Structure formats: C-alpha cells, structure tokens
Amino acid sequence: LRLVIKAILIGLPALAGVFIGAPLLAREFEQGTDQLVWSQGITRQRWLLAKLGLLSAATVLLAILLGVAGRVWFEAQPVLNSSQWQEYDIQGPAYASYAFFSLALGIAAGAAIGRTVPAMAVALVGYVGVRLAIVFLARPNFLPPLQSDVSTNLAGQLDAWMLGDQKHFDLQGHPLSDSSWQAAVNTCSQIQGPWGSCLRDHGAVVLQAYQPGDR
C-alpha cells in the first residue's frame, strides 16, 4: 500500500499539466473563443492573467496540502530502515514545485501548439522526461557524494542519503574480488572483536557513497 500511494503521489502533478494546463489555452485557440473575448475590449494580458492567476494558486495550494498529507501518512507508517529522503519528492516545496512546473509546461504547450490533444501529449512526455532527468542526471551531480567506510564509521550518517550499494575495496582503494572479499568475511566471522578492524587487518574495507543530511 505504501508503494502504491507513493506512486500515485508522484504521478499526480503530471495531471495538472495534462488535464488542466494543456487545454486551458489550446481549447480557446482551437475553438476561436479567444477572438470573441478580445473583441469585447479586454486586453490579452488581462485575459491571460485572469485565466492563470487563480488556477495557478489553486494548483499550488492543492499540491501543498497533498504533500503535507503524504508526509503525515508516511511518517505514521512503521517501516524499518526508512530514510527521510525516500519520500523527498512528495513532500513540501519540492512537490508544490513539480505541480506548478507541470501546470506551466501544459499551458506553454497549449499556447505554442494551439491544439488540445497534441498539447496534452507534449505536457505528459515533457514532464516525465524532466522528472527522470532530474532524478538520474541532475541530482546525483549537484554536489559530489562523499565516501565512508561503513564497516567502522557509522557516526553522523543516520540522516544521510545513501547512494547505490556498498562496495568492497582493498586498502589501496582498488576493487576487491569476490573471492578475496568472501575470504575476509569467512575469517572475520570466526573471530571475536570489532568487525571493521578485522576486515582492515585482512585488507578489506566497505565503502558507501552518501550525501550528508545537511546538504
């Protein structure tokens, strides 16, 4: 249920662009009703602001409420090893920003194309493309991640954002072969004492890439 609700919340901002933003201007241009309005003495700027102002505010407010509700619900779920960063995209300012971006993208597509269905398609593809690019291309490169030997040092990482899987290296920083790693594990599992110190004594360290929580 947790994953289903998370998936729904991630997808909801796209609907703002596809079903609200894209048809907003495209339908007017498609049906020619914009010409009728402009002939009544209303300027294009006033017509545009009247359409966009209240709708944009309502979209952002609804996204904020959904983000708060989602955060409250997720925090109430007892999940082991849960990180605050797992639900970062569906909370607070980030969630409201995605909703507003989706709406703006749909409006821009409708204004540029002037046809409702193609504008809806562009809004959907554009939103999904930007979201994926942020997750896989932009965000990992905002600041270089740090590396920590998690076999000996866990202090200060409880609020960190762990990136990828743990990797095994020798003391010179070279990747450790599976056989060498397994040999070190087998040896240390039979010895009483600190696990991390034993691994280092046998030439193995466990490194984890992470972003500190204060970033």
Residue-wise pLDDT for 136-194, tens only, equals 898 878 899 888 887 766 555 667 888 888 899 998 889 999 999 999 999 988 887 78
Residue 65: per-residue pLDDT = 93
Query: What pLDDT was estimated at residue 39?
Result: 79
pLDDT higher than 80, residue 1 = no
Residues 112-135 have a mean pLDDT of: 96
Q: What type of residue is 63?
A: A
Which residues in 189-215 are b (16+ Cβ under 10 Å) and which e? eeeeeeebebbbebebbbebbbbeeee
Please tell me the total number of residues recorded for the chain in this structure. 215
Return the C-alpha torsion angle 215, 63, 9, 94, nearest 10: -10
pTM for the full model? 0.78
170's tokens: 């020798």
Tell the residue number behind the tokens 């110190």, with chain if given.
Answer: 197
Residue in 193, 194, 149, 144 with CA at minimum distance from that of residue 170: 149
**Hey, is 213 helix, strand or coil?**
coil
What is the pLDDT averaged over residues 109-135?
A: 95
Whether 98 contacts 131, CB under 8 Å? yes
pLDDT of residue 51: 83
Choose the most confident range, by mean pLDDT, from 28-42, 50-64, 152-166, 185-199.
Answer: 50-64
22, 116 contact by CB (below 8 A): yes
Q: Which of 112, 95, 110, 102 has the alpha carbon at shortest distance from 17? A: 102
- Please indicate whether residue 17 or residue 201 has the higher confidence score (pLDDT): 17
Q: DSSP for 182-197?
A: HHHHHHHTTS-S-HHH
Tell me the pLDDT of the chain averaged across its residues.
Answer: 87
